[in-house]
Amino acid sequence: MSVSGGRAMSPFPRISLSLGHFCMEQLHQLVILFLLAIAVSLVCNKLKIMPMVGFLLTGVLCGPSMLGLVEDQEIINQIADLGVAMLLFTIGIELSVDALNRLKRPVFMGGSLQIGLTVAFIALACWLYGTSIQSGIFWGCLAALSSSAIVLQIFQKKGYTSTPVGRITLAILVFQDIMVAPFMLCVPLLGGALTLSLTEALFAVGKVIAVLGGVLLAAHFGLARLMDAVMATRAREILLMTTLALCFGIATLTESLGLSFSLGAFLAGLLLARSPYSMSVVSGVLPYRDIFLSLFFISVGMMLDVGFFLNHMGAILAFTAVFIILKFLLSLPAALMQGYPLHTAVFSGLALAQVGEFSFVLAASGLTYHLFSMEEYQLFLAASVLTMMLTPLLISLAPRISGAIMHWRKVKEEEEKPCSACALQDHLIIVGFGISGKHLALVAKESGIAYNILEMNPDTVNRYKDSEPIMHGDASQPVVLEHLGVDKARVLAIIISDPAAVRAITEEARSMNPNLFIVARTRFVTEVAPLRRLGADVVIAEEFESSIEVFSQVLSRYLVPQQNIEAFSARLRRANYRMIRRMSAGVSNLSEMVDRLPEIGVQAIRLCADSPLCGVRLCESNLRRGHGLTVVAILRDKEMIATPDPECTLNAGDVLYLFASTEKLLAARPLFGGRVQEGTGTHQSQPA
């Protein structure tokens, strides 16, 4: 793209859209852009290419170097900036106060490491190559920034935002936005066009702190009342207007202070995150965010000069490859130095290996102050667009690349033959110490089950290391599983949010202990069959279990008996997981053959004091003939009675081990006692 008039893409301009600027001709251009984007996206969908890449290609097609459909690109850029701001705004809303507190250390430690290493290394490399140190620092600033819009949108769609990878990546991106103002100040300083004294610098910093502090205090004390008043109107248009005013108002304020426009939107989202109406706010702005973000990707594609790319293709491709490799390697320490495992560091490094939106503004400013030549500017623009186009592919390949690196490390670790440091036997291993992990540890402790906990978040490990048997590590590494005693464990519960990590842990644990019972949690039903094929015995799909909980609550409000609800649930689970098993690979061993039989097995239930079976001999109970239940053992006062005699009398408090199907056990459950609350449909008897 030629730089006529010195115009360049500006992701963070002051918002100056007016009805006078937005004339009918520009509306026609927008309509043409949307029609072309739809056509290109449909083709990309057929080829299974992400829509984001389709929007980038749309920008290339309609840009000035090809069809030239857009005459006033600045208008498109300004609209596109709103999409970036809205993306950061919604991400800020989705962060809880606890999550924000946990991000403090990754933001400042991880972000400063990533930016510091990138700027220092590239500046040194440029200086050794013969470039001035000022130009080297400038190139380092360009390379240090990554694209929040692209990375965070992919993470949201793939469900990575709440994973360790998502947290560390978001933290680094937030710090990069904080560093926008210092970088903009550095450009004229490096170009020799501005001198700044220490007093002026301190005054500028103090002004920013004072203004932002005042905004935060005003929002803290007045935002709740404002939102209560807005919600009391019950008018969705007033809620949307208030949301946009807060988002763009705080964003414009931060931009006027020399900070990033999107950083202000992120702060506005954080302020609204504490409101009980935050989800209503998000649902209102999502459609506008998606439209504006699409325009952002189109505007980035417009910057690619196809003629320059074809004439310098070799140099551009080589520069792009070197840039991605260097950015990836220089981003690794930001996660590794904070205790995150190599798998997370590799994933995060690949996600950050592109040029950021604000780098285009820095590049245009650097051209003005003669920090690089026009040819270098065009080379940078072409490589930048390529890195953005390659980002979806890099994120998709990240699990495979990290898996290959972990496999290489596994070969090296096997040579050392480490021995297990776990003294437990027949214990439970809990991978992930979120809400589900904490609940599982609590009931395991109360049930007298020995357990170990593995968690990848170092802050969580430090918080619970004195009260729980918790350690830090990546469970996909064999040496970590050996340390947890996976070869001697009975059950492994994988309760983390990273789908790639769940698959890797399942496969590794199954290879190390064929007799281990593996329970894995996943978000979607489509993940169940692949995990079963990798060796998981039970896969709990949150999507499916949530649907069962919903209809259970609905039926209970209609006073449907709890036994009926549980029978419905059992039937749906049985039908669903049978279907998933048919989707799995063919039967290859006896355990899989048994797994495909009807859901029968040994189950335990306690005999309550009000049961009609109390004081009745086993031969008189009619459990086998009348209900299809076979008593294989009885636990009485910590003594196990195996294969009980037919003359054995059943007592209150006995735990009966029954060989039966789940459906028959549920049907006969009232026989074992337990108070039923009249009119509520809630049965109090619980299996042991």
Name the residue with higher pLDDT: 127 or 14: 127
415 falls within a domain: no
Same domain, 591 and 616: no
Q: Is the pLDDT of residue 537 over 60?
A: yes
614 falls within a domain: yes
Same domain, 381 and 500: no
Same domain, 587 and 617: no
Same domain, 475 and 382: no
Among the three residues 576, 595, 614, which one is the final residue of a domain in this structure? 595
Residue 478's domain is classified under what CATH number? 3.40.50.720
pLDDT tens digits, 152-211:
878 877 777 777 788 888 889 888 877 876 787 677 778 775 555 667 667 766 766 776
Mean pLDDT of 312-331: 92
Across 148-152, 436-440, 500-504, which has the greatest mean pLDDT?
A: 436-440
Given the structure tokens 């100056």, which residue do they identify? 16
pLDDT tens digits, 362-384:
887 788 788 888 888 888 888 88
Max Cα-Cα span within the chain? 100
Domain containing 631: what range?
A: 600-683
Q: Is the pLDDT of residue 266 over 50?
A: yes
Q: Is the pLDDT of residue 409 over 90?
A: no
Same domain, 388 and 466: no
pLDDT at 23: 57
Same domain, 185 and 256: yes
Long-range CB pairs of 504-508, under 8 A, 24+ apart, other chains included: 504/343, 504/399, 504/403, 504/406, 504/476, 505/431, 505/475, 505/476, 505/481, 506/531, 506/534, 506/535, 506/536, 507/534, 507/535, 508/475, 508/476, 508/477, 508/478, 508/481
44 falls within a domain: no
Same domain, 450 and 588: yes
Same domain, 560 and 655: no
> How many angstroms separate the CA atoms of 511 and 487, rounded?
10
Q: Is the pLDDT of residue 62 over 70?
A: yes
Tell me the pLDDT of the chain averaged across its residues.
77
Q: Is the pLDDT of residue 680 over 50?
A: no
Among the three residues 547, 562, 595, which one is the final residue of a domain in this structure? 595
Same domain, 634 and 579: no
Name the residue with higher pLDDT: 486 or 599: 486
Q: Is the pLDDT of residue 300 over 90?
A: no
Q: Is the pLDDT of residue 2 over 70?
A: no
Same domain, 128 and 156: yes
64 falls within a domain: no
> How many angstroms separate the CA atoms of 325 and 119, rounded?
15
* C-alpha pair distances (Å), 404 with each of 46, 340, 410, 477, 617: 30, 18, 10, 12, 61
3 falls within a domain: no
Same domain, 494 and 610: no
6 falls within a domain: no
pLDDT at 580: 52
- pLDDT classification of 487: cutoffs 50, 70, 90: confident
pLDDT tens digits, 539-587:
887 767 777 778 777 877 777 777 777 777 777 766 665 555 554 444 4
Residue 128's domain is classified under what CATH number? 1.20.1530.20
pLDDT at 100: 59
What the block records as the tokens of 37 is 């984007």
Among the three residues 535, 562, 595, which one is the final residue of a domain in this structure? 595
pLDDT at 204: 64
Same domain, 524 and 650: no
**How many independent structural domains does the chain possess?**
3
56 falls within a domain: no
Instruction: Return the percentage of the chain with pLDDT > 70, whole number.
Output: 80
